[in-house]
A and B are shown apart, each in its own frame.
Chain A
Amino acid sequence: MGKGVAITGMGIISAIGNNIDENREALFAGKTGIGRVVKINTNHKNEIMVGEIAYTNSQLESLLQLPETNNYSRTALLGAVAAKEAVESACISDINEYKTGLISATSVGGMDMTEKYYYEYLEDKTVQKYIEAHHAGDSTQKIAEQLGLKNSLVTTISTACSSAANAIMLGARLIKSGKLDRVIVGGADCLSKFTINGFKSLMILSDTYNTPFDENRKGLNLGEAAAFLVLESDAVVKAENKNVLAYLKGYGNANDAFHQTASSENGDGATLAMKQALKVANLNAEAIDYVNAHGTATGNNDLSEGKAFLRVFNTMPPFSSTKPFTGHTLAAAGGIEAVFSVLALQHNVLYPNLNYKTPMSAFNLVPELELKEKPITNILSNSLGFGGNCSTLIFSKQA
């Protein structure tokens, strides 16, 4: 194994809170952020549940002290808030001091503005500023600008629901190879009419609270969120005498190569990704103390992921999905679940899989149902997406 990858800061905004402390409190109290959609004017209001962030765009703009002329999409606003918290918590005063990069992830990008002004763009000069805010890289450029990051490696990954996990993975590889000393990694996605209708047309949205790994699960709840980690090399940690929250110890990415949207029934891709991550971490499956599952509560995902668990683990460790707290936050999911995993390591707790009632008939896997205190050293977190994209991260107390 090469160099260690230390996590020295983190930031988050999600339906269960606007920062790390609020998210932690909600997780520990078993408090969901799922409810009816308020900020998006959709006909499906009464048929779906979502994990929406409390702040309005203008509240986020004033939080960031943006001028009125700004052209930030909601994705960029959320991303900037979370990334700033991450950098502050890592006690970084000069962002350009070391070789620093930013790797973000998004699937929605500026679609929230495009769907608002799609036809107005042609005529109304006052909204045309958002045209260039549409493409996925724009939100990342804005986050870099908010962090004051200049002359640097900045890029964006979009691999559907595994995007932020992949951004974290790339960041780790850039640190390990010595290309960067420090990198801010994560993802951001806001709710949009586009994704609501997209998942609705795929008929995988639940009309009630999502219930991962339950026999009677009815689909997912969409959510919006942003979360970022600060990763630093051993050398920076030593030089700056940094407080290390946890280490990113393993990562794996594989493709199911089965179907454009569905996962293979036996979870080939997820199995490969988990095995690869264990190999990179140099750990046996038995060393995993808790699994933060992708667990979207769709019929297909939970079956495929569960089958993959059985192929990777002889004895299944405690596991749960935190999607009932936040909803499925798409490209940001791997980021917020990375933050949740680090919090679990710091506080030695396992999160409950809310709303669970009936075991699945396909296998004998029952998730954690209560918040449980337990010494934890290694956590495995999955993110699986469209296009067959499967990613696994392993977080650890040890380098």
Chain B
Amino acid sequence: MPMVFEKTRGLTDRETHYCPGCTHGIIHRLVAEVLEEMELLDATIGVAPVGCSVLAYDYFNCDMHEAAHGRAPAVATGIKRVHPDLTVFAYQGDGDLASIGTAEIVHAAHRGEKITVIFVNNAIYGMTGGQMAPTTLIGQKTTTSPYGREQSHAGNPIRISEMLATIDGATFIERTSVHNPQSVRKTKAAIREAFTVQQKGLGFSMVEVLSTCPTNWGMPPVEALEWLEANMIPYYPLGRFRSPGVDRTSAAEV
């Protein structure tokens, strides 16, 4: 019988700990497939964050580091400077990257560090039990914003891709989503592009992927996908913000 689909070699056979309906699994698979298809797996070092994807080092089938909270871009910098010929990526959530790790991500981008960052934004702290993240939407209820996030109290949600796109060293910045098959395919294309930028030595690359957290959002998985589309995408517009040779691209142009 002809093989029509098989699990990517980029993932190990470990059963993941992710909640039912969580989209981390899809994003893991996309990163792994791209690394396998680009024949980079054997020459890649990944960095796992602190947060829901803390155990990613057990899932990706390549050399891995587990970093302290928010420090993945600094750890990846150390690795890349020692092994400039290898592919280095960091996989980070929004608490990790957009809150405690803002200095590290900004300066890795600013140095044009030749690493790829996969930034998974689900607008909440998942691992610790659904607390408010810097990316939590206005009005969104979390365990530390039980009455809904208020702008006057907690400020507006932070748009990381737009912020990093102002930095010259950030060669490739794109925001995608995984709420339907079409967006999953676009995410894979963006991840491939990001790794290609690194392969060519062009500079820093990041793909921000809008993701769901059915458990802490308190809704069934399908409803969570719909909530993402209806609420997150209007505030976090999808699109390519920076690409090689293009100084600044607005999301609308993509």
A and B held together in a complex? no
B-contacting residues of A (Cβ < 8 Å)? none
A-contacting residues of B (Cβ < 8 Å)? none
